[in-house]
């Protein structure tokens, strides 16, 4: 149902007055993985499944620095970093779009 003008105005006034508006909580990929593995913070270092995930995604996803240090891993930045298939798919999509619009 659409908001009435009065409801929109009230919401806008609250924003201008500095009243906090509800912000959705979004979990990072790392937090989702930890939740799916049902690990506590103390179990992170011992988990081989999490270690494998971190090894695969350390250059493209958020991973806590303490965990990287505990695993003895470093993050590669720049062109020498290994990219996952998502990056390759994005590059392919960009290439396809470029080809599509270059004929205009």
Residues 55-87 pLDDT 10s: 999 988 999 999 999 999 998 876 655 555 444
Least confident piece of the model among 16-30, 36-50, 68-82, 87-101 = 87-101
pLDDT for 87 equals 44
pLDDT for 20 equals 67
Q: CA torsion sign, 8 to 14 to 15 to 20?
A: negative
Question: Would residue 17 count as lying in a domain?
Answer: no
Question: Would residue 59 count as lying in a domain?
Answer: yes
Question: Domain count of the chain?
Answer: 1
Question: Would residue 50 count as lying in a domain?
Answer: yes
Range(s) of the domain holding residue 31: 27-102
Residues 2-28 pLDDT 10s: 778 887 777 766 666 666 667 778 899
State pTM to two decimals.
Answer: 0.57
Query: Cα–Cα distance between 20 and 23 in angstroms, integer?
Result: 8
């Amino acid at each position: 149902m659409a908001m009435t003008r009065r409801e929109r105005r009230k919401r806008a006034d609250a924003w201008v007055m500095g009243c906090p508006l509800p912000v959705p909580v979004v979990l990072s990929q790392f937090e989702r993985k930890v939740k799916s593995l049902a690990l506590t913070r103390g179990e992170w270092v011992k988990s081989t499944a999490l270690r494998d995930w971190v090894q695969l995604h350390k250059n493209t996803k958020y991973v806590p620095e303490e965990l990287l240090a505990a695993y003895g891993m470093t993050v590669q930045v720049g062109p020498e970093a290994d990219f996952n298939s998502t990056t390759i798919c994005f590059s392919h999509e960009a290439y396809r779009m470029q080809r599509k619009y270059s004929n205009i």
